[in-house]
Amino acid sequence: MTVGTGKEKLFGQALYLRAAGEAFRKLNPLRMVRNPVMFVVEVGSLLTTALWVEGLFGRGEAPGAFIGAIAVWLWFTVLFANFAEAVAEGHGKAQAEALRRTRQETKAKRLIRSDHQQSFEIVASSALHQGDLFQPAFKLDHQALSDYMGNDDPSRQHEQHQ
């Protein structure tokens, strides 16, 4: 189980509240027709609700409570599908925004001189241009890279044949 910070919980609540509102906005038949299966379920929900209202006045073919339960279940299905879709869209938009922010906020150490002093300036990564020299923020494991790339080091070939 993970425990989120207050900010993450607030973001989650806002996401779910926005998705709940969006679930009801997606009930518009012009929007619902994009998903034919759920459109048919929505039409069935409307017809079942009309049969339920008819059953309330004693003219229904089945007890009003039974028809009402079916109508509620169908509406729940449509709303839940819309809610799930809205949450997925919200997560996708939030992730895209986070990636945009990361791209803009990532800093790089651009080398001013490549001599032994290695003086550098910190700039936004988007300000780097082709040909700029920069100092990586990690140490490169040449052996792991060589193994990954499939490049055999001649000194290692000798070790493997022994």
Is the C-alpha dihedral spanning 116, 119, 122, 123 positive or negative?
negative
Angle between helices 36-56 and 64-105 (to 10 degrees): 150
- Has this prediction a pTM greater than 0.85? no
pLDDT tens column, 24-50: 999 999 989 999 999 999 999 999 999
Q: What is the pLDDT of residue 162?
A: 47
User: Which residues are CB-neighbours of 118 under 8 A, at least 6 positions away?
Assistant: 111, 135
C-alpha–C-alpha distance, residues 106 and 100, integer Å:
10
Query: Could you state, in order of their start, the residue ranges of all structural domains in the chain?
Result: 6-105, 107-161
Instruction: Select the more confidently predicted residue: 154 or 75.
Output: 75
pLDDT tens column, 50-87: 999 998 887 878 888 899 999 999 999 999 999 999 99
The answer to whether residues 26 and 82 touch, using CB atoms and an 8 Å cutoff, is yes
C-alpha–C-alpha distance, residues 117 and 100, integer Å:
34
Q: Which residues are registered as beta bridge partners of 123?
A: 108
Which three-class secondary structure state does DSSP give residue 53?
Answer: helix
Q: What is the pLDDT of residue 44?
A: 96
